Amino acid sequence: MGNWQNMDSLSKRVQAVTPSVTLAVTNQAKALIAQGEEVYGLAGGEPEMDTPNHIKAAAITALQDGKTKYTPAAGIPELREAIAKKLLTENQIEVETKGVCVTSGGKQACFNAILAVVEEGDEVIIPSPYWVSYPEMVRLAGGVPVMIETSAANGWKITAEQFEEAMTPATKMIILNSPGNPTGTIYTEDELKAIGEIASYEDIIIMSDEIYEKLVYGDKKHVSIASISEELSQLSVVVGGFSKAYSMTGWRLGYTATANAAIAQALSKIQGHTTSNATTFAQYGALAALEGPQDFIEDMRQEYDVRRQFVAGRLKSISNISFVEPEGAFYYFVDCTDMGLKSQNLCDKLLNRYKVAMVPGIAFGHDASVRLSYCTTLDVLAEGLSRFEEFCDSH
């Protein structure tokens, strides 16, 4: 029995992964709040607005109507159909209803896609900085994450040439995330075409995480790589969800969509053996989200754009940091190289001394940066940024 008290006796798979730094920051901040401290939370990854009422009402009605049993593994047919229709009309992606699998959040959608494709030892290309969970999911699947470094000078994007150079005979998949977390970067159609051409030539699967598709600012446009050609729609697994678009993070609802019938079947099979299905009555809420009024999204987007510009103004007045203005999502990835601190150390000091929570860049593969979220109120942003400025001035 004693053996099971230490990590070494657990599976190699789980030993290979690290705990989520974003969750650790949240827990640290919660501990300070529990001690009566006021903490300015700029670390979160969820809209602070409530889920719109008509979505809640649909889920409540579903509960009252006895929608409390299992559904097909890939979700209720009406929701899968509504997602396929949305993908066609909004994203110009042609997938059949059976190509859609409703999942317990975008996170499970990503994991299902990786598990369906990646074999022991397969390489998965991930542009860095990356969303924390991608490399760990690849490791859990027995694969090898291969990072491609990007830079602020290049808008935090990989080029087709970098993709080509990173490829080996073991490459199975590339993960794209546009709009991206943590940088807010957006790939243009031409950039996606160039990357897609190489993926097509080498027969590489593309997991395209488009969870932030609705949060796009200025004259930028969200384009899905799966919409570019029939060939790319066959090679792509699109990941989408309800968390960020409809402020439904706690509902745990996302989806995968692909035109590739074999992959679609594999995704439903994995879903069937892991969660069985996403929560039944929650799926009816998601259906109402897609079929009901969409003005909530535009209101939220405009609100975030105001905050994005506010943060840019405040950050510009701090001399020892730099940043690329984000084009999408709700994060700033701030380069703090000039302060000479490792990102974990920087965030610990910022939280403990100035009571401002941000996420260390190391979580996203860049130890000289921190991630600042602007999915919080202008009041919290104003005070949090004043304190951040004070912190920066003292280093």
Ligand X SMILES: Cc1ncc(COP(=O)(O)O)c(C=O)c1O
Tell me which residues touch ligand X (CB under 6 A).
45, 105-107, 110, 131, 177, 181, 209, 211, 241, 243, 249, 254
Question: What is the C-alpha separation between 143 and 121, in angstroms, rounded?
Answer: 5
Q: Which is nearer to ligand X, 279 or 355 (CB)?
A: 279
As measured in angstroms, the least distance from the Cβ of 8 to ligand X is 30
Q: Which is nearer to ligand X, 110 or 186 (CB)?
A: 110
> What are the angstrom distances between the C-alpha of 380 and each of 39, 285, 325?
9, 30, 20
Q: Which is nearer to ligand X, 339 or 363 (CB)?
A: 363
As measured in angstroms, the least distance from the Cβ of 110 to ligand X is 6
208: alpha, beta or left? (left if phi > 0; alpha if psi -120 to 50): beta
Q: Which long-range contacts (CB under 8 A, 24 or more apart) does 80-86 make?
A: 82/287, 82/290, 82/291, 83/240, 83/255, 83/257, 83/290, 84/257, 86/290
Q: Which is nearer to ligand X, 107 or 172 (CB)?
A: 107
- Name residue 207's beta-bridge partners: 175, 237
As measured in angstroms, the least distance from the Cβ of 343 to ligand X is 18
Q: Which is nearer to ligand X, 339 or 369 (CB)?
A: 369
Structure tokens at 229: 């050609």
As measured in angstroms, the least distance from the Cβ of 197 to ligand X is 24
As measured in angstroms, the least distance from the Cβ of 108 to ligand X is 7
Question: What is the C-alpha separation between 103 and 355, in angstroms, rounded?
Answer: 36
Q: Which is nearer to ligand X, 128 or 200 (CB)?
A: 128
Question: What is the C-alpha separation between 76 and 310, in angstroms, rounded?
Answer: 42
- Of all residues in the shown chain, the one whose CB is closest to ligand X is 105
Helix then strand then coil, % of the chain, to nearest 5: 50, 15, 35
As measured in angstroms, the least distance from the Cβ of 90 to ligand X is 18
